[in-house]
Amino acid sequence: MKLTIFAATGGIGRQLLEQAVAAGHDVTAVVRNPQRLSRQVRAVTADLAAADPALLESAVAGADAVLSCLGPRSASQAGIASRGTRAIVEAMQATGVRRIVVVSAAPISTVASPGRPRPPRHDPGDGFLMRNLLAPLTKAAFRKPYADLALMEDVLRDSGLDWTVLRPPRLTDKPLTGTYRTAYGHNLRRGLLVSRADVADLMLRVLDQPQTIKQAIGIAN
């Protein structure tokens, strides 16, 4: 497939780039600094905080799918996930590209946003400890990044595109297993961790699975 990968120099992005190239896909990488790319692929340099729409359109035009691992490098950069994803979506709408897969986070199922002002109080996949201790603590600690990711999900739901959102719990740098668990629309019981490599694996896998379109998918090792 012809794939455009945004944030291919990040933790998940690097894994995704390696796996996509190894699988024989034709990859265009949109990054802030192409010198940090681990592979020689077609590179487009763009800062998604203020990207030129024409440049993004040229990066996605003709792609079979767009994959984004975009997220803030620090809490102070929260806002980039929704802003950058909006720019990506607009480029796709302008060029007629329909399929997009992005990385969100497990707690977002219960985070309110303008498009989803009354989300469920608890995620049906979360157990007692997660509902009553861990989820409230992480949501308090990461309030801004989570609000940004919830808004990013709004942008996708409103886009009319064929989107899939992956909602991983805490990310690790452990190796690819390919044996992670997934669930449509909710988190996984005792699913506290998942490797970046496994998230990247699922990003590629869902491209062959039309049933994942317009779905938020929980993933955990």
Nearer to ligand NAP, 91 or 149 (CB): 149
Nearer to ligand NAP, 59 or 80 (CB): 80
Task: Give the shortest CB-180-to-ligand NAP separation in angstroms.
Answer: 14
DSSP label of 9: T
Nearer to ligand NAP, 33 or 209 (CB): 33
Q: Are 123 and 109 in contact (CB under 8 A)?
A: yes
Helices (H) and strands (E) in the chain, counts: 7, 10
Nearer to ligand NAP, 96 or 140 (CB): 140
Task: Give the shortest CB-199-to-ligand NAP separation in angstroms.
Answer: 8
Task: Give the shortest CB-171-to-ligand NAP separation in angstroms.
Answer: 4
Task: Point out which residues bind ligand NAP (CB under 6 A).
Answer: 7, 9-13, 31-33, 47-49, 69-73, 77, 80-81, 84, 103, 105, 149, 168, 170-171, 196
Q: Are 152 and 201 in contact (CB under 8 A)?
A: no
Residue whose Cβ sits closest to ligand NAP: 71
Nearer to ligand NAP, 48 or 96 (CB): 48
What are the start-end ranges of the E strands in 7-142? 26-31, 42-45, 65-68, 99-103
If we measure between CA atoms, which residue out of 196, 202, 152 comes closest to residue 182? 202
Q: Are 156 and 85 in contact (CB under 8 A)?
A: yes
CA 208 to chain CA centroid, nearest Å: 17
Task: Give the shortest CB-46-to-ligand NAP separation in angstroms.
Answer: 6
CA separation for the pair 203, 105 (Å, rounded): 14
Task: Give the shortest CB-195-to-ligand NAP separation in angstroms.
Answer: 11
Q: Are 167 and 104 in contact (CB under 8 A)?
A: yes
